[in-house]
């Protein structure tokens, strides 16, 4: 397993329910281990890069209707 993490900046102001929904949807993607908002707009996702790609994770957040971009760690 090749575990890594990425950070996604979500420009929208999400309430706790919206954050929970995003985290739950990410957990459904094969290879995602631990998605969590660690600050108001920063989503950190720990995942197995042999099972999924950062672009897929970013696309899921964006396809939920939120403005988001990858942030370098």
Q: Look up the pTM and report it.
A: 0.92
Q: Among residues of the chain, what percentage have pLDDT more than 90?
A: 93
Give the model's pLDDT for residue 58: 98
CATH number of the 3-71 domain: 3.30.70.100
Lowest-confidence region among 37-41, 48-52, 61-65, 66-70: 37-41
Q: What is the SS3 assignment for 68?
A: strand
* Average pLDDT taken over every residue of the chain: 95
Taking residues 10-32, report their average pLDDT. 97
d(CA 33, CA 40): 21
Domain segments of the chain as ranges: 3-71
Closest CA relative to residue 54, chosen from 38, 41, 67, 35: 35
∠62-40-56 over CA atoms, to 5°?
25
pLDDT at residue 73 tops 60: no
**Are β-strands 3-10 and 68-71 bridged in parallel, bridged antiparallel, or unpaired?**
antiparallel
């Amino acid at each position: 397993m090749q575990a890594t993490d990425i950070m996604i900046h979500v420009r929208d102001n999400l309430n706790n329910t919206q954050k929970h929904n995003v985290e739950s949807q990410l957990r459904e993607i094969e290879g995602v281990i631990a998605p969590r908002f660690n600050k108001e707009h920063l989503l950190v996702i720990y995942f197995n890069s042999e099972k999924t790609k950062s672009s897929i994770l970013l696309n899921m957040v964006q396809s939920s209707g939120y403005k988001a971009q990858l942030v370098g760690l």
